[in-house]
Structure 1
Amino acid sequence: MSHPNAFKIRMARRSILQQSACGFAGLAASASASELLYTAAASQSPAAPPKAKRIIFLFMQGGVSQVDSFDYKPELQRRHGKTAAFNDARELARSGTRGTEQRLMQSPWKFQQYGECGRAVSELFPETARHVDDLCFLHGMHTDGVAHGPATLFLHCGSTNFIRPSVGSWIYYGLGAENQDLPGFVTISPSIGNGGPRNYGSAFLPARYQGTPIGSAGKSTLELANLTRQDSNLQRQQEQLQLIERLNEQQALRRGAENSEFEAIAESYRLAWRMQRVGPEILDLNTESKETLAEYGIDQPETRGYGEKCLLARRLCEAGVRFIQVNYGDNSANPAWDQHSNLPKHAEHARAVDRPIAALLADLKRRGLLEDTIVWWGGEFGRTPYSQSNGTGRDHNPGGFTVWLAGGGFRPGIAYGSTDEFGFASVQGKVHMHDLHATLLHQLGLDHEQLTYRHAGRDFRLTDVYGRVISDVLA
């Protein structure tokens, strides 16, 4: 798969940078930003004039139930308790059986229409619902992978099992950094499970393009204090950096010019030095007004954790970070939204994220950032419209689910595609995860067929040999 206009930048083999325990050096060591990043995309002509400069991805780990959130199905309500036959992917994998009878389960939450567009949203997300006129719903999503691990990797990397660069790394590679003093790709509180670092890794792309993690999953707060500390003796720091540079020059002569992983580590120290000028101010959420902190729910225990993450995302967005992932999840065996036997727990998770998400949308719009920032909300798959575990939960459903997008040139206030009468399978306006990736890249001015990297004798891309741009959702 070779493309005449593909990137011709030749880099050395894949590498993974080691992170130090804390502070700016630890941040920088996972995603250094050199001047090369500003010229990396110069050899590629834009697919189209870019409508967006960056993405904020609100990842809902575990799979939010579409029929309990944004995909209202009256027929499911009417036929609650009755049975119907479904070609369930999990059942097919377990027993090879198709068309198994399952008991339908209505949503325990009421829906109502919001906004001028009249979109129906459940009472799980009343704050987000007030912004439906700014949202573009994709109701016909489907993906690969029926378990969390493969599906999460596919969401992030376009592959269920092979080691591939993450979507954030591809974007960082294709566009470079907006701000020379910050990493181009940041992931906030990532989980160690279901792919772990591979979900923000650069794989065979040069190591500088991997994501920089801030915080960790399962923590009630971001605990940014250790990242904002800095040595007040700038003269001593300058002398330390100069010494390290001299030692690195000696090592570079010994290792050879083609040792890209060593150069990436060396550059991480330079980035750490540059970050001290802007990092503390960006990471210090206390510089925000009381009104802003309250808007994001940081003054309330149940919304504080995700509120801090969303507010930090807005600050990183303002500072020029290309791809910011805001994770909602934990490090347990069962990811946050994975309610096989306790569907009412969806309400707890919704309360934690709904207000911060609404605040982020309002804040970005108020500051004029929503026009060139894509906000992407969704999980690795959806959930079944029938019950599991004696009617107390829902199983995984990769065949039909909902994501929504806002800003960045997407048509606001529309619903594209649909699932069947029960919300099980995508039937119209179907959008595969490869299609979503292709469309996101398109809005950033990148052609998913041309954004390639040569590795092991072939040209690789995020969408492999698939993907199409969904033009109907573009403004």
Structure 2
Amino acid sequence: MTDERGSTGRLGCDGFRRLGMSRRGVLRAGALTMTGLGLPELFRRRAAAQTAAKNNGFGRARSCILIFQWGGPSQLDTWDPKPDAPADIRGEFGTIETRTPGVRISEHFPLLAAQSHRLSIIRSMSHDDPAHLSTAHRLLTGHLAPTPYSDAAGPSSNDWPHLGAILAKCRPSKGVMPQAVTMPWSVAHPAAPGGRAPGQHGGWLGKGFDPFGIEGDPNAPDFQVSGLGLPEGLTAERMVDRRVLFDALRDPGGLSGRSAGAWDGFQGRALDALASSQARAAFQVEREDPKIRDRYGRHIHGQSLLLARRLVEAGVGLVTVNWHNDGLNFWDTHGDNFNNLKNRLMPPADRGFAALLEDLDARGMLDETLVVWAGEFGRTPRITKGNAGREHWPRCYSAALAGSGVAGGTVYGASDRWAAYPARDPVSPDDLGATILHALGVNPATEVHDAVGRPLQVNTGSPLLSVFA
């Protein structure tokens, strides 16, 4: 029986992976030996999976780029303007037409207005937690933080795993590239007692599932990704020797007689990545045509998005691009909201996101890459007197989706007349996480086991099936 998420059951991670529930799938050469299914049953399940992918987007995405606009962008000044509201609510910005008839967005998103035919704008994101750190955890994991409503609790081993960690667990990578990458830093807030936000690592799955972290500015002339390439004095031949030794140690009949179960495979993957020219090349954004780099914008956000495109092209499953450490409170515009938005925040966000969509489409990758633009919450409808700021507001805010079968030129949900509360179809961060997993071919109802063997459901939200064409 099909459940409300469009799934055909509650199979574990390996079960879904073996049944080929993704567009590219695993039903290729050798699949029969991997599944143990009879040929008629195998074909029946593959046909069901392909039908599901066509109908509601399940498994259509090979990769996802999650653009995390850390700090909380104002919904009224970006995706959901209210030009008929009083001046102390609508703010200073005008609106512009998009390529979607009847849909207007902020005048400071002109390039994205021209890309609206590829976007599904969500105007009914909603939850009730106004704290940065705990809501970052919720957006990045699809679960409440261990300490909700808190800016005092930093990362812990009790955190829920990052969505990329869940993907690595449920859909392990077959190549040398990591399944999840986070860049250009791990988000933190100087005004939050807890400092760094929870939910950015493997959580209770363990450090072996931490997303690969990139720290630094890809726009800098001397940008390099730490941890790639061979250390000084170590030749490729010596690396091969180390790999052979490592494989022998993993083999029950090898040099040590140790059980293969004593190794988790991450050491071997790390050795492979160090020696892989493919892996190193994917991280070298300087190899891009200068004209393409210019199109994204020669700034840290634009070049991070360009690097994200290179990584998904090389096989990374989920790349999280966090708004960078700008030293200016990110999108947290408690004061001088309008000058910060129009001069500092919106131009690079507009240029980078629009260029990413154009580039993915030109390369034939947009159909298999889900792109998600979201912050942890929105801003208050009423402008703060005296400093022209907007405060934290989780009750209603906006996000945007594109690619991987998402129906472009659409708006999902609606806010009320002041963008204060959803008027219809509220969407939680859990639902957004469920949608990401769903598109990547991971059933949100999948259960995985924590360190003490408890079965835990990877997501309890409901994927937004109707956003898929």
TM over 0.5: yes
Q: Which residue of 2 aligns with 1:133?
A: 117
Structure 1 residues 265 and 409, CA gap change in structure 2 (3 angstroms): closer
Q: Is the 8 A contact 2:164 2:211 kept in 1?
A: yes
Q: Does 1:266 align with 2:267?
A: yes
Q: Which residue of 1 aligns with 2:324?
A: 329
Range that drifts further, 67-76 or 369-378? 67-76
For 2:13 and 2:98, how far apart are their aligned partners in 1? 49
**Deviation sequence 1:179-215 (CA, Å, 0-9, x none):** 5111010111123526747433112225433200012
Q: Is the 8 A contact 1:135 1:406 kept in 2?
A: yes
Q: Does 1:149 align with 2:154?
A: no
**Deviation sequence 1:70-114 (CA, Å, 0-9, x none):** 1021232xx22xxxxxxxxxxxxxxxxxxxxxxx43322111111
Q: Which residue of 2 aligns with 1:223?
A: 223
For 2:68 and 2:197, how far apart are their aligned partners in 1? 15
For 1:456 and 1:144, how far apart are their aligned partners in 2? 31
Please list every run of 5 or more consecutive structure 1 residues that lacks an aligned counterpart in the other structure. 10-37, 81-103, 299-303
Q: Choose which of 378, 381, 384 in structure 2 pairs with 1:385.
A: 381
Matches within 5 A, 1:311-350: 311-330=306-325, 335-343=329-337, 344-347=339-342, 348-350=344-346
**Deviation sequence 1:24-67 (CA, Å, 0-9, x none):** xxxxxxxxxxxxxx99x979986933221110011100001010
Structure 1 residues 219 and 364, CA gap change in structure 2 (3 angstroms): closer
Structure 1 residues 401 and 60, CA gap change in structure 2 (3 angstroms): same
Q: Which residue of 1 aligns with 2:56?
A: none
| Matched position secondary structure for 1:326 | strand
Q: Which residue of 2 aligns with 1:123?
A: 107
Q: Choose which of 59, 64, 84 in structure 2 pairs with 1:75.
A: 84
Q: Choose which of 364, 371, 377 in structure 1 pairs with 2:367.
A: 371
User: What CA RMSD, in Å, does the superposition of the two structures yield over aligned residues?
Assistant: 3.3
Q: Is the 8 A contact 1:385 1:424 kept in 2?
A: yes
Structure 1 residues 42 and 129, CA gap change in structure 2 (3 angstroms): farther
Q: Is the 8 A contact 2:415 2:421 kept in 1?
A: yes
Structure 1 residues 51 and 242, CA gap change in structure 2 (3 angstroms): closer
Matches within 5 A, 1:436-447: 436-447=432-443
For 1:110 and 1:225, how far apart are their aligned partners in 2? 41
| Matched position secondary structure for 1:312 | helix
For 1:61 and 1:222, how far apart are their aligned partners in 2? 26
Q: Which residue of 2 aligns with 1:415?
A: 411
Q: Which residue of 1 aligns with 2:152?
A: none
Q: Is the 8 A contact 1:379 1:403 kept in 2?
A: yes
For 2:323 and 2:36, how far apart are their aligned partners in 1? 37
Q: Which residue of 1 aligns with 2:185?
A: 190
Q: Is the 8 A contact 2:250 2:258 kept in 1?
A: no
Q: Is the 8 A contact 1:217 1:331 kept in 2?
A: no
Return the TM-score normalized by structure 1. 0.77
Q: Which residue of 1 aligns with 2:12?
A: 7
Matches within 5 A, 1:277-292: 277-292=277-292
Matched-pair identity in %: 26
| Matched position secondary structure for 2:73 | coil
Q: Is the 8 A contact 2:124 2:397 kept in 1?
A: yes
Quote the offset at 1:252 in angstroms. Answer: 11
| Counterpart code for 1:48 | A
Return the TM-score normalized by structure 2. 0.78
| Counterpart code for 2:170 | G
Q: Is the 8 A contact 1:215 1:223 kept in 2?
A: no
Matches within 5 A, 1:452-467: 452-454=448-450, 456=452, 458-463=454-459, 466-467=460-461
Q: Which residue of 2 aligns with 1:159?
A: 144
Q: Is the 8 A contact 1:59 1:379 kept in 2?
A: yes
For 2:331 and 2:431, how far apart are their aligned partners in 1? 24
Q: Is the 8 A contact 1:70 1:121 kept in 2?
A: yes
Q: Is the 8 A contact 1:227 1:280 kept in 2?
A: no
Aligned residues: 408
Quote the offset at 1:378 in angstroms. Answer: 0.8
Q: Is the 8 A contact 1:172 1:209 kept in 2?
A: yes
Q: Is the 8 A contact 2:13 2:171 kept in 1?
A: no
Q: Which residue of 2 aligns with 1:354?
A: 350
Quote the offset at 1:175 in angstroms. Answer: 1.8
Q: Which residue of 1 aligns with 2:392?
A: 396
Structure 1 residues 144 and 219, CA gap change in structure 2 (3 angstroms): farther
| Counterpart code for 1:160 | A
Q: Which residue of 2 aligns with 1:92?
A: none
Q: Choose which of 88, 95, 107 in structure 2 pairs with 1:111.
A: 95
| Matched position secondary structure for 2:213 | strand
| Counterpart code for 2:352 | P
Q: Which residue of 1 aligns with 2:4?
A: none
For 1:255 and 1:268, how far apart are their aligned partners in 2? 19
| Counterpart code for 1:324 | V
